[in-house]
Chain A
Amino acid sequence: MPDYRIRFVKGNELKYLSHLELIRAIERALRRGNLPLAFSEGFHPHAKLSFGPALAVGISSQDEYFDLQLTEDWNQEKVVSVLNSTLPRGIAVVEGRKCSQKVKPLNAIINRAAYLVELFVPAEDRNLVIEELTSIVNRKEVIVTRTNKNGQKQVNIRQLLHNLKIEIISEDIIQLELIGKIGNDGNFRPEEIVNLLPRTVEIINLIRTGLWYEEQEQIIRPLDLC
């Protein structure tokens, strides 16, 4: 049974979908498209689908992935075009590839993510914001508190951040390009950088622009790993 790796985008209009909602929307699109989905066994059979790293609520993305198994051998172009005819507005498949071999799961390989953050910064705070961002980059340690159901944890987010680029777009808009870790070595969260800035700063837009595998400065796209 062939495996396929699908690259898709999650548009601004659907950025508030949770990871689970996104998965279900795609599952239903697959069913609408009558794709010969492979199902797991058992009382609650579910389609053999596995997704890349979850996208937080409120973030849109230009570079998302899932793997899919079919029971019939379809060519990859057909899978892409059927999916695009059944997906809701706001989710679109950009590329799909039939895997030539058994592949490692997306979550096991992807270790870098890039984000584009558009910020509203009142003109009078601009210098302060740039200073703060520069200081973050120059420090070895930036500790933030993360809360989950098991309690609170101190995390050094500086070591999760690999790159930060600032661009001034207009009088009161600044754009940040951020690259950070994702996956088993820790998850960089762009909102955590914004939270360190003055309270007048507001996120206008937050987009994930890339997911990839990186080792020793070599960058491999998930589609090239299948």
Chain B
Amino acid sequence: MTDWQKVESRLGRVAKPTRYIGGEYNTQVKDWSQTDLKVALAFPDVYEIGLSHLGLRILYELINEQPTMLAERVYAPWFDLQQLLQEVDYPLYALESKRGLAEFDVVGFSLQYEMSYTNILTMLSLAKIPLLASERTEADPLIIAGGPCTYNPEPLVDFFDFFLLGEGEELLLEVLKIVQAWKGQKGSKAELLQQLAAVPGVYIPSYFEVEYYAEGTIKAIKPLAEHYPVRAVVRDFDKTFIPRKWIVPFMDIVHDRIAYEIQRGCTKGCRFCQAGMIYRPVRERDPKTIMDNLKKMVEDTGYEELSLTSLSSADYSKIEDLITEACGCFTPKQVNVSLPSLRIDSFSVDLAAKFQSNRKGSLTFAPEAGTDRLRCVINKGVTESDLINAAHAAFKAGWQKLKLYFMIGLPTETEADLEGIVKMCKEVERIGKTYYPKGNALRITVSISTFVPKAHTPFQWERQISIAETLAKQQYLKENLRGRHLELNWHDSKVSRMEGVFARGDRRLGKVILKAWQQGAQFDSWSDYFNYQLWVDVFQESGVDLDFYSRERSYEEVLPWEHINAGISKQFLIAENERARKAELTKDCSQGYCPNCGVCGELKVRTKIVGDRNA
């Protein structure tokens, strides 16, 4: 038996072996002898989550289109496979060639959420790749990362050679071509970094030195060379690469459908929302391009469902026409059309009614906060009457299941805002009962998450509430949000707390992450496997104060991500935070008004709207 066969013959012992075999339709197994740059695209969570992520699919296909490059995939192995790999001494492998990650030239991680950080270390370690960038040589693969967490990657700088900031479709190829040429010249790693330093979108952490004050805050982030990390942006979103050979998995994955990005960016300006800041400006795709590509993708996948995705699809200016056309084209072929999120208005409910002929599913709305005042603070320009109208429309159209998303711990929140959540949910329940007096299927599911301040948002200076405060607020809701048709879910207060620490953490957290991982921390986003006490102990042993990272910060303080240019001006973020305190709304710039966020000028990009958003 070959070493791989030893692994393969034992896969029957692990749960969900389909995670680890590859071979899905539309995957590409390229010849290693015919390509000179090999890239492993890594997602630090299980297959079902990783393959649901659009970004890596785009990059996979993009790289594989290059004749001299290949890309393969790898996801975080579950505990049982980890054990099996160690038992037979086989490295963590990429699904296409079954080769260990150490054989690749580049291993690129997608960083989507903070609680996946320890899984990166598990994956590197199982692949027998040195964990610390400082310990790796030219013989090891380059370990790089992209994704939203790279807007503050400081807790991870010990482990990565460099990061890619922003939209990867164009940036990644540019970087890989440089790596490819460098590989041919057999240069040193320092020489490579020197070349990459000039590429906008690349961030090399070793080119900066951080100095701290005695009390722990940052004194200065000193550049050691000419290097200005700035976010990469796609300027012509219609011409950019679109994945067409959409991978069709064998097993059920979290988002088991075609996802087609109809636009990028959202300028609603919700002040807590990082995506709304770092993907600016709005760039809508041409509806004809969308339909042409969707037809090909449906033909080439056999998928039963497609989703018109974006941060806020109901805002797409020609959404009504697009849905009508898509339903007309695909419904007869038994392909369902869906939108990932709805706005809180009857327009959105009408849209949903168009594509969702089966009303047994649920509709989701995200009021985020309990009162009109607090929704003004966060710039979610939605009123209580909007929600009531939307609820009426939904019940009237035949839905009996609604999901409502709220956050607790938002800046300026008072008891009145919690009461507001209770009041609104009960009102929605009451309305539901008027439509369905028997109401056996009537269900209002309320999900409560804890606000976590994120880098590059107007709330990046705000304090995050403590575990005790979170629990008290959750308790209040649990006691008051009772009703026959109400169901309450909430996020683990401890997970949110750690997420917040890493979201606004600095370079000193690298050693904490390493230590926690060495002591067994893994799959921290899975509440069954998250061990808060372990983390608390490791922070204490490392002499790092947890509370330090959840505190409020002044505008003058040097933030750990201050040297990373996301395109948004600091003045804008400050102005927005000040407006928040006065509960003042800021308009959406896709309707003509410019709030001076600075992105278009800084990144030389323009908003693109295919129709009319004022309609």
Using a CB–CB cutoff of 8 Å, the interface residues on chain A facing chain B are 13-14, 16-18, 21, 24-25, 27-32, 34, 39, 43-45, 57-58, 86, 88-90, 202-205
Contact = CB atoms under 8 A, between A and B. Distances in A.
Given A16-B12, A28-B302, A90-B23, 13 more contacts: A13-B21, A16-B11, A21-B18, A21-B251, A28-B248, A31-B333, A43-B357, A43-B358, A57-B17, A58-B11, A88-B23, A89-B23, A205-B9
B302 A57 contact: no
Interface residues of B, number: 25
Contact of A32 (B12, B250, B299): B299
A31 B23 contact: no
Contacts of B357: 43
Instruction: Kindly list the 10 A-B residue pairs having the minimum CB-CB distance in the complex, ordered from nearest.
Output: A28-B302, A31-B302, A58-B12, A16-B17, A32-B302, A88-B25, A21-B250, A43-B358, A13-B23, A17-B250
A27 B23 contact: no
B413 interface: no
A17 B250 CA distance: 7
Given A16-B17, A32-B302, A88-B24, A204 B1 contact: yes
Chain A CB within 10 A, most for which of B299, B302, B358: B302
Contacts of B588: none
B247 to A, nearest CB: 11
Contacts of A89: 23
Contacts of B303: 28, 31
A88 to B, nearest CB: 4
B289 interface: no
A16 B19 CA distance: 10
Nearest to A45: B334
B300 interface: yes
Contacts of B9: 202-205
A16 B81 CA distance: 14
Contact of A30 (B12, B24, B302, B360): B302
Contact of B18 (A18, A31, A43, A86): A18
B466 interface: no
Interface in B1-45: 1, 5, 9, 11-12, 17-18, 21, 23-25
Contacts of B18: 16-18, 21
A30 B303 CA distance: 11
A192 to B, nearest CB: 14
Contacts of A18: 18
Contacts of A202: 9
Nearest to B250: A21
Contacts of A13: 21, 23
A29 B24 CA distance: 12
B301 interface: yes
A85 to B, nearest CB: 12
Nearest to A87: B25
A50 B311 CA distance: 40
Nearest to B13: A58
A45 B24 CA distance: 25
Contact of B299 (A24, A29, A34, A44): A34
A36 B333 CA distance: 10
A86 B302 contact: yes
B302 A29 contact: yes
A63 to B, nearest CB: 21
Contacts of B333: 31
A30 B24 CA distance: 15
Contact of A27 (B5, B300, B302): B302
A45 B300 CA distance: 21
Nearest to A33: B302
Interface string B486-525: 0000000000000000000000000000000000000000
Contacts of A86: 302
B436 to A, nearest CB: 19
A89 to B, nearest CB: 6
A50 to B, nearest CB: 18
A13 to B, nearest CB: 5
23 contacts: A14-B21, A14-B250, A17-B250, A21-B251, A25-B250, A28-B304, A30-B302, A31-B304, A32-B299, A32-B300, A32-B302, A34-B299, A43-B357, A44-B358, A45-B334, A57-B17, A58-B11, A86-B302, A88-B24, A88-B25, A89-B23, A204-B9, A205-B9
A117 to B, nearest CB: 12
A126 B248 CA distance: 44
B250 A24 contact: yes
A135 B1 CA distance: 30
A32 B301 contact: yes
Contacts of A16: 11-12, 17-18, 21
Contacts of B302: 27-32, 86
A24 B24 CA distance: 12
Contacts of A205: 9
B23 A14 contact: yes
Identify the interface centre among A16, A34, A57, A58: most chain B CB within 10 Å of its CB: A16
Contacts of A21: 18, 250-251
Interface string B332-365: 0110000000000000000000000110100000
Nearest to A26: B302
Nearest to B21: A16
A194 B474 CA distance: 54
Contact of A39 (B300, B301, B334): B334
A10 to B, nearest CB: 12
Contacts of B251: 21
A112 to B, nearest CB: 24
Contacts of A45: 334
A38 B567 CA distance: 54
